[in-house]
């Protein structure tokens, strides 16, 4: 590795390093305050360098799921309901937990990168692979016994039977998640977002091509659509791993190491806290889908709600990119000892995400009659979706703030505390309110959805906002310094001289 970075990595790090890594210290009272507009411009460049590619890559990867459900929707209402249930409930259950566990890397890798403990990123990645692989094995029964589980939850037999077939064929995708999620966060923490974007684009093209071939040309039906999804996600995982092995991260990846097996218990505890924090949010929407299945005309209600969730999920990829970008920026600044920088990064990110959410809320309200045609040609489903579209717009606006605040929590390492907040807001307030509005007040799917969103997500967002506003950022920087020291084992070449 030597004592200097390569020219391209050096120029990149010089442009994007936390301010304190250049000024050496937090709260530089003796320096002339930078003009606000200049600070916003500098922080915006740093943020959008992460968020821009992250939006594109997340839209591409989520579009693979959308494409699969679009193919299924034109096979029939049962097929659309089945794949929607599996993707949103079965996959959503495991997806949320594994993605959340992988988000521990956003805290550890982000703060280690800010503190220039580069070699530890590769160790953290390997530890995450070990932990997530073990958990993915434990979660396999969800896929293998999907049909009896869904029947136990009283879904219609035809939907449950078809869902069982879909879940069985999506087992490879479940195992791919455990490998791909840590890779993505490892690269993201060191600002390698353009690599993720290009590989995601390749995976999307494969998804469209194979989906068209298997479903429309070879007529493999629902199984063909699901296998196409498995293959496309495999392309994404293999592409990122290939970049790693081909020397794309010379500072942070030095090969496999037995050091990855040390400190696993501490890593498991942080990963579990991260997993619980995020999966409580993901499962919340799965519960919404399941509760809709108990309503009258359940198939139509599930189909219409799944379209709303797909549109919301697609737009949500933008705010999840801000979740990732905020987590990286906050972690980098705290790891470098710059509490004020972390606070300012939070303000800038929340502002951008809110404006974007408002724009798409208005867009949905204007084009509400036309959006569902992408997914279905069923008149009943189209009418049901049209009634839900106004609530969809409100949901999009509310969800433009919450992910950014969660990103602040991940970048700061607050996962365990936020998990308790999520549990209280979503499951003690949100779910009972949804049941009350849906069944007691007889408002159907609109009541269930409205009660869960405003009662759960709304209150959670307010609480996270209050916590963020009242945070002592200087203290958080000191906590981050102690965490980096505890988890890292410095090497002589961990602090290379940055070229100017």
Q: What per-residue confidence (pLDDT) applies to 36?
A: 85
Burial of 467 (0-12, 13-18, 19+ CB in 10 A): middle
Q: What per-residue confidence (pLDDT) applies to 17?
A: 52
Number of alpha helices (DSSP H) and beta strands (DSSP E) in the chain: 23, 0
**From its phi and psi, is residue 191 left (phi > 0), alpha (psi between -120 and 50) or beta?**
left
- Tell me which H or E stretch contains 45: helix 36-73
Going from N- to C-terminal start, the domains of the chain cover: 39-486
Q: What per-residue confidence (pLDDT) applies to 10?
A: 42
Q: What per-residue confidence (pLDDT) applies to 464?
A: 92
Q: Are 182 and 209 in contact (CB under 8 A)?
A: no
- 251 SS3 class: coil
Burial of 232 (0-12, 13-18, 19+ CB in 10 A): buried
Map tokens 């303000």 to a residue: 347
Separation between Cα atoms, residue 261 and residue 265, nearest integer Å: 9
- 497 SS3 class: strand
* Per-residue model confidence as pLDDT tens digits over 320-349: 889 888 988 998 899 888 899 999 999 999
Residues of the chain with pLDDT under 50: 1-15, 20-32, 492, 495-500
Listed in sequence order, the DSSP H helices in 155-253 are 157-169, 171-189, 193-211, 221-245
Instruction: Find how far residue 459's CA is from the centre of its chain.
Output: 21
Count the residues in the chain: 500
Separation between Cα atoms, residue 471 and residue 480, nearest integer Å: 14
Radius of gyration of the chain (CA): 23
Q: What per-residue confidence (pLDDT) applies to 487?
A: 63
Q: What per-residue confidence (pLDDT) applies to 497?
A: 41
- Selection from 152, 184, 173 nearest residue 91 by Cα: 173
């Amino acid at each position: 590795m030597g004592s200097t970075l390569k020219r391209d990595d050096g120029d990149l790090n010089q442009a994007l390093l936390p301010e304190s890594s250049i000024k050496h210290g937090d709260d530089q009272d003796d320096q002339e305050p930078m003009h606000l507009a200049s600070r916003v411009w500098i922080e915006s460049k740093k943020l959008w360098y992460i968020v821009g590619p992250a939006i594109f890559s997340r839209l591409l990867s989520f579009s693979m799921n959308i494409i699969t459900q679009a193919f299924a929707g034109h096979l029939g209402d049962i097929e659309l309901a089945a794949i929607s249930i599996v993707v949103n409930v079965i996959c959503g259950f495991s997806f949320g937990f594994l993605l959340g566990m992988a988000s521990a890397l956003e805290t550890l890798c982000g703060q280690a990168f800010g503190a220039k403990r580069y070699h530890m990123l590769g160790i953290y990645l390997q530890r995450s692979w070990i932990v997530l692989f073990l958990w993915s094995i434990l979660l396999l029964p969800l896929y293998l016994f999907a049909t009896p589980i869904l029947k136990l939850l009283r879904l219609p037999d035809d939907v449950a039977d078809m869902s069982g077939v879909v879940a069985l064929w999506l087992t490879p995708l479940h195992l791919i998640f455990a490998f791909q999620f840590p890779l993505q966060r490892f690269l993201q923490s060191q600002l390698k977002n353009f690599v993720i974007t290009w590989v995601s684009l390749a995976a999307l093209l494969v998804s469209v091509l194979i989906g068209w071939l298997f479903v429309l040309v070879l007529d493999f039906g629902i199984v063909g659509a699901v296998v196409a999804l498995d293959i496309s996600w495999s392309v994404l995982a293999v592409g990122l791993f290939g970049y790693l092995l081909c020397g794309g991260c010379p500072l942070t990846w030095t090969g496999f190491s037995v050091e990855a097996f040390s400190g696993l218990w501490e890593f498991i505890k942080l990963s579990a806290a991260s997993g619980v924090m995020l999966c409580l949010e993901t499962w919340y929407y799965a519960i919404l889908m399941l509760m809709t299945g108990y309503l009258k005309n359940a198939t139509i209600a599930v189909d219409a709600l799944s379209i709303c969730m797909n549109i919301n999920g697609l737009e949500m990829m933008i705010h999840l990119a801000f979740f990732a970008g905020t987590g990286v920026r906050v972690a980098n600044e705290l790891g470098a000892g710059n509490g004020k920088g972390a606070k300012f990064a939070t303000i800038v990110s929340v502002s951008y995400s809110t404006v974007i959410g408002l724009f798409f809320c208005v867009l949905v309200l204007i084009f509400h009659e036309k959006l569902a045609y992408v997914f279905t040609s069923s008149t009943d489903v189209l009418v049901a979706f049209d009634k839900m579209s106004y609530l969809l717009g409100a949901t999009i606006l509310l969800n433009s703030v919450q992910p950014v605040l969660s990103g602040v929590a991940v970048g700061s390492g607050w996962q365990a505390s936020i998990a308790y907040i999520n549990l209280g807001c979503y499951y003690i307030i949100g779910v009972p309110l949804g049941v009350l509005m849906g069944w007691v007040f007889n408002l159907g799917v609109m009541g269930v959805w409205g009660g869960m969103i405003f009662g759960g997500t709304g209150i959670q967002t307010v609480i996270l906002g209050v916590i963020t506003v009242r945070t002592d950022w200087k203290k958080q920087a000191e906590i981050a310094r102690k965490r980096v020291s505890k988890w890292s084992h410095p090497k002589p070449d961990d602090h290379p001289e940055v070229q100017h």
